[in-house]
Amino acid sequence: MGPPVGGRQIARQGGGLSIDTPPWIDSVVDWQRPYVGDDDRVRLAISLARENVLRATGGPFGAAVFQAATGRLIAVGVNSVVRLQQSALHGEMLALMLAQRRLNSFTLGAHGGPGHELVSSCDPCAMCLGALLWSGVRRVVASASRDDAMDLGFDEGPVFPESYRYLEERGIEIVRGVLREEARAVLDLYRSRGGQIYGG
């Protein structure tokens, strides 16, 4: 126990952490309309990735959480590692966290509730793949591939074919490579602008 000062403990750890999307999000995202079909949903994730590069607020990755059946947009995320100085804040993590914040629930798969899916501009890394398993989403749609990200210099971590199988065996549907060329173009844009390759 730390020394009491004036009868109270000093909070040695310092304060907590506030997490949010960059301020430009609401000027580029249409929160009203339904997003119908994988292409429409993936295009939103890719446009978030592109805006994140153009506005210099982070890496070339975007993601969103939708109500699966209706296409209602619940939350979005963009890579925020450098902006918020947090290595865990990949686009997928931010989207999942803000979706749970919005629904005030640690699971997006509540029994009897509407099912949700995560859509990402790139194959999720090892951390994000684990996170979406705990999140309660029932479906994942990704665009650019693991190899595309690694070509750019980003590591994707220990993800193996059996990692995908592990999720599928627990009822999560995984769809990859949707509009891959469009997402890869954003990775190329990031490279052409000399974007930072952060990592452990």
Distance separating alpha carbons of residues 64 and 42, to the nearest angstrom: 9
Residue 120, beta-bridge partner list: 63, 142
Please count the CA atoms within 13 angstroms of the CA of 72 that sit on its side-chain side: 9
6 binds its own copies, rule: CB under 8 A: no
Please, what sign has the CA dihedral across residues 119, 121, 126, 127?
negative
Angle in degrees, CA 27, 196, 129, rounded to 5 = 75
Enumerate residues 52-111 that contact its own copies by CB under 8 A. Answer: 73, 75-76, 81-82, 84-88, 93, 96-98, 100-102, 104-107, 109
Is 20 or 39 the residue whose CB approaches its own copies more closely?
A: 20
30 binds its own copies, rule: CB under 8 A: yes
42 binds its own copies, rule: CB under 8 A: no
Distance separating alpha carbons of residues 129 and 23, to the nearest angstrom: 27
Catalytic status, residue 92: yes
17 binds its own copies, rule: CB under 8 A: yes
Enumerate residues 139-158 that contact its own copies by CB under 8 A. Answer: 155, 157-158
25 binds its own copies, rule: CB under 8 A: yes
18 binds its own copies, rule: CB under 8 A: yes
Q: Which residues bind its own copies (CB under 8 A)?
A: 1-3, 9-21, 25-32, 73, 75-76, 81-82, 84-88, 93, 96-98, 100-102, 104-107, 109, 125-131, 133-137, 155, 157-158, 160, 162-163, 166-167, 170, 198-200
Hey, which residues are catalytic here? Answer: 92
